[in-house]
Homo-oligomer: A and B are copies of this chain.
């Protein structure tokens, strides 16, 4: 009887390597090592040459891993929603993907035109067109939304969102507040640090999207 677990003799392919990388990156959170060429090699019990036969280099592998995760998250936006609501779902999909795979947040700002980033631009662009925006106005609106999402992704990836239970979260915020206070005891900084403990990341992220959507309302629409 054959075992259900994938045998190492299964043919190597790019997608298998990418999935192995995702597994290793997901395990990074629990401090179980890092994604290196060598960790991929041991995971798939193969040599470096075999991996380079399917993947150009480690950068491409990281980009492909983030793309794989986001492509899944952004695939199922219902097409019957109005554009504002769809854009909120795009944001939530990305935010929750990063909640599940924090490394995606850091990866997205590493290379500006990697596949996952192009996918985000494209997904946003599609909805902006449905809003009647085109040309330079669409570019301004799209880059505002995309850059906000990318910046927030990087910020939340290593932030409190990453900490699962409340105990660790408090400890993280306490450490952060102390670190800030040590460097800079300005009143504004202290206020931000204290506010960090009270707020809801996901809600704050959605607030940001709503602020931008509201600001976009004044942009000129396409006469079409």
A184 within 8 A of B: yes
One of A26-34, A79-87, A132-140 at the interface: A132-140
Are A191 and B125 within 8 A (Cβ)? yes
Are B207 and A214 within 8 A (Cβ)? no
> Which chain B residues lie closer than 8 Å to A210 at the CB level?
215
A-side interface mostly: helix
Are B180 and A113 within 8 A (Cβ)? yes
Are B186 and A112 within 8 A (Cβ)? no
Are B112 and A199 within 8 A (Cβ)? no
A115 within 8 A of B: yes
Shortest CB–CB separation between residue A209 and chain B, in angstroms? 8
Shortest CB–CB separation between residue A113 and chain B, in angstroms? 6
Measured between alpha carbons, how far is A6 from B178 in the docked complex, in Å?
38
A188 within 8 A of B: yes
Tally of contact residues, A, Cβ under 8 A = 61
> Which chain B residues lie closer than 8 Å to A208 at the CB level?
140, 143-144, 147
Interface centre among A129, A154, A157, A218 (most CB of B within 10 A): A154
Chain A contacts with B in 170-193, Cβ cutoff 8 A: 176, 179-180, 183-184, 186, 188-189, 191-192
A50 within 8 A of B: no
Q: Given A122-B188, A211-B216 in contact, is the A195-B139 Cβ separation under 8 Å?
A: yes
Q: Taking CB as reference atom, which chain B residue is nearest A188?
A: B125
Are B112 and A144 within 8 A (Cβ)? no
Measured between alpha carbons, how far is A158 from B108 in the docked complex, in Å?
13
A158 in complex: contacting residue of B112, B155, B157, B158, CB < 8 Å: B112
| Residue positions of A touching B, CB distance < 8 A | 106, 109-113, 115, 118, 121-122, 125-126, 129, 135-136, 138-144, 146-155, 157-159, 176, 179-180, 183-184, 186, 188-189, 191-192, 195, 198-199, 204-205, 207-208, 210-216, 218-219
